[in-house]
Amino acid sequence: MPIHFVSGGNLTLRESMQFVDRGSRTPHPGWENNMTTILAQLGVPILICWEVKAGLDGYRVTHLAGKQISRDDHRCGPWAQCVDPIYWEMIQQSLTPEVQTLAMQVQTPYQLHTMLTRQVFPQAETTASWWLTYRAITEPALEAIARSPYAGSFSKLVRSDGTIIESRDAPDQIVRFDAQGAVVLKTDLAQSYLRLLEAVRQSETDPTFNLGRAGIGGVLPDARIMTVLDCVIYAILAQTDTVYAWSGVAMFQYVLKEPDSERWRDVTSLMYDYVRKVIPGLPETLTYVLIPTNGLGSLVIADVDLATKINQTVMRTECPRQYNKSVLRAEFTQALEGVETEEALAFLLTQAPAELHEVIRTKCRKGRVDAAIGIAAHEIWQWWHKGSEADRKQAETELAKLLVDDQGRFVLHHQPAIGVIEYLLGQRPYLLEGTLDIPTRNLESRRQELQRLAIRETSQKWRQEGGAPWEGNDFNRAGWL
C-alpha cells in the first residue's frame, strides 16, 4: 500500500524530538490533560483540532477550567455561542484578571480558548490556520479525494447553526447526510470544507466575528482525510518519505490495534494514492509512524518540591547514563568505527575492569571487536549494578513512601490537570526522572511499576496499623480504582 502505518514505540521521547519538523500532535482544544501540555512544553507541534462536535469528551470548548461556561455543547466548537452569564458569574472569581479581560474581548468560547492557548503556547496552531497556510497543497488534495470513490469520508455536515449531521452514504454524485434529504454534490465537497476553514480562521483572528451568527455551514472530513492532509504537507515541507504523529491511546488503537483498523489504513492509503497523482513531489510510498504516549500524562508531579524529592530518589534507583550498557555499547562502537584492532584493544582495556582484560584481548585478536565491545559494556554495567544494590533497595523503599500521600492514595493518580489556565497561573507539570529516555511503548509499563511500589507500601502500612487497604481510600484488592 502507498502508506505503511507503523508503531514508533521503540523511540524515546527525547529521540522523537528530532522529528518535530515532520509530524505533530493533534489534540482536542480543551487542554485539560497533562499529556498535551507536556508535549507542548517539549516542543511537539500542536494542532488544535476543532472538527468535531463540542460535546464530545475531551473537546471542552463549552468549559473553562473544568467548569461549564456555555450551554451550546451540541454544536461544533467554533459555532458554540457566547459565554452564559449565569455560568460565567459562578466561575469568574476563580479566574485571573487577565483571563477575565480576554473573555471580554471575544464573542465565543472557542475564540477564548484559542486566545488563551496562544498566550501560553504561541507555537500552537489550529487545523484551520495550518491547512489554509498550505492551501496550495490542501486544496488539490481535498479535490482529489472528493473526486475519488472515498468522497463519503467528508462525513459530517455542519449546518449554519453549528449542529452536526453524520453522513449516511455517498451514492452517485452526492453525499447524503440525513433522512430529510440534506445532500452535498461531490463536486462541492472540497470547497465546502475550505469555506469552513476560512470562516473558522476568521473567527480566530477577528474577535468581533461570531461564527454562530454568520450563517455559514459546510462539510467536515473524517480522521482519514485529516491524516492524508498531514502526511502530504509534512512530506513536502520536510522532503521526506517518513512522517510522524505523537499519538494518544485512542488514535493508536483505531489506527493500529482494533480488529477492523486494517480497513481504516487501507482507505487512508488509497486516498493518498489519489492525492499523489495530482501533487508533484510526493513519494510513491510513505511511512506513517505513530509514537504512543499512553501513560505519559500520569508520569508527572505538579508540586515542584514533591517532584524534586521523587526525582532525586528515582535517580538512585536507575542506572546512570555513564554505566548504561546500551549507551556504553553505542558510544564504544562510535568511538572505534574505522579503528585498527590493536588501537581498539588499547581503548577497551582503559574502559573495562582489569579482570576482563584477558577475554577482551582474546576477542580482539580473533577479530571480534564487536563482541569485545559488548563484553566491556555489559561488565561495566554489572559492576555498577552489584556495587549499588544496597542503595538501590533503600531508595526503592523511600520512593514507595513518596508515591503514597497522607490519605493512602497513589500520588500519580491524583495530580491536577494543568492546562492553559493553570499554566497562566504559574503551575507546571514536572516529568518524572527518566521519562524522556524510556521507549514510548513502555511509558504505561513505567507507570504500572511505580503503582506496584505504591501498592506494596500501602499494604505494608495497613498490615502494621491494622484494617484493610481498600477501606477509606481508592485502593482495592486489584490495585487502585
The predicted-structure confidence for 449-458, as pLDDT tens digits, reads as follows 999 989 887 7
Worst-scoring range by mean pLDDT, 174-183, 188-197, 256-265, 339-348? Answer: 174-183
Q: d(Cα 122, Cα 125) in Å, to the nearest integer?
A: 8
C-alpha cell of residue 415: 495530580
pLDDT classification of 364: cutoffs 50, 70, 90: confident
Instruction: Give the residue with greater pLDDT, 286 vs 380.
Output: 286
Where does 38-132 show beta strands of DSSP type E?
47-48, 63-64, 67-68, 125-126
User: pLDDT above 70 covers what percent of the chain?
Assistant: 91
Asked if residue 474 has pLDDT above 80, the reply is no
pLDDT for res 57: 57
Q: Vertex 437, ends 436 and 443: CA angle to 5°?
A: 75
Q: What is the mean pLDDT of the chain?
A: 86
pLDDT for res 29: 62
pLDDT for res 166: 80
Sign of CA dihedral 426, 429, 434, 436: negative
What's the distance, CA 293 to chain centroid?
A: 5
Q: Burial-class residue 273 by CB neighbours within 10 Å (0-12, 13-18, 19+).
A: middle
* Beta pairing partners, 126: 48
pLDDT for res 172: 65
Asked if residue 226 has pLDDT above 90, the reply is yes
Q: d(Cα 147, Cα 150) in Å, to the nearest integer?
A: 8
Worst-scoring range by mean pLDDT, 13-22, 93-102, 242-251? Answer: 93-102
Please answer whether residues 100 and 129 qualify as being in contact, where contact means their C-beta atoms are separated by less than 8 angstroms.
Answer: no
Amino acid letter, 381: W
Q: What are phi and psi of 181, to 5 degrees?
A: 100, 15
**Contacts (Cβ under 8 Å, ≥6 apart) of 92:** 100, 103
pLDDT classification of 481: cutoffs 50, 70, 90: very low
Instruction: Give the residue with greater pLDDT, 180 vs 100.
Output: 100
**Contacts (Cβ under 8 Å, ≥6 apart) of 416:** 302, 422, 427
C-alpha cell of residue 429: 507539570
Asked if residue 119 has pLDDT above 60, the reply is yes
Mean pLDDT on 159-181: 75
pLDDT for res 105: 86
Pairing state of beta strands 286-292 and 23-24? unpaired
Q: Provide the 8-state DSSP code for 444.
A: H
Closest CA to 310 of 179, 403, 172, 210: 403
Amino acid letter, 289: V
User: Per-residue DSSP letters for 273-319?
Assistant: HHHHTTSTT--SSEEEEEEE-TTGGGSEES-HHHHHHHHHHHHHHS-
Closest CA to 133 of 43, 206, 197, 207: 197
**Contacts (Cβ under 8 Å, ≥6 apart) of 250:** none
pLDDT classification of 465: cutoffs 50, 70, 90: low
Asked if residue 236 has pLDDT above 70, the reply is yes
pLDDT for res 371: 86
**Contacts (Cβ under 8 Å, ≥6 apart) of 377:** 325, 326, 328, 329, 332
Asked if residue 393 has pLDDT above 60, the reply is yes
E strand or H helix at 23: strand 23-24
Please answer whether residues 222 and 211 qualify as being in contact, where contact means their C-beta atoms are separated by less than 8 angstroms.
Answer: no
Mean pLDDT on 393-412: 91
Asked if residue 355 has pLDDT above 90, the reply is no
pLDDT for res 470: 43
Asked if residue 463 has pLDDT above 60, the reply is no
Instruction: Give the residue with greater pLDDT, 421 vs 17.
Output: 17
Asked if residue 462 has pLDDT above 70, the reply is no
Question: What 3-state DSSP class applies to 210?
Answer: coil
Question: What 3-state DSSP class applies to 341?
Answer: helix
pLDDT for res 471: 44
pLDDT for res 478: 46
Asked if residue 353 has pLDDT above 80, the reply is no
Gyration radius of the chain over CA positions: 27
Asked if residue 9 has pLDDT above 60, the reply is yes
Tens digit of each residue's pLDDT (9 = 90 or more) over 59-90:
678 888 778 888 888 889 899 887 767 777 77
Question: What 3-state DSSP class applies to 17?
Answer: helix
Tens digit of each residue's pLDDT (9 = 90 or more) over 272-317:
999 999 999 999 999 999 999 999 999 999 999 999 999 999 988 8
Instruction: Give the residue with greater pLDDT, 194 vs 367.
Output: 194
pLDDT for res 461: 61
E strand or H helix at 201: helix 189-205
User: pLDDT above 90 covers what percent of the chain?
Assistant: 45
E strand or H helix at 252: helix 249-252
Q: d(Cα 361, Cα 367) in Å, to the nearest integer?
A: 10
Numbers of helices and strands, H then E, in the chain:
19, 17
Mean pLDDT on 329-353: 84
pLDDT for res 436: 93
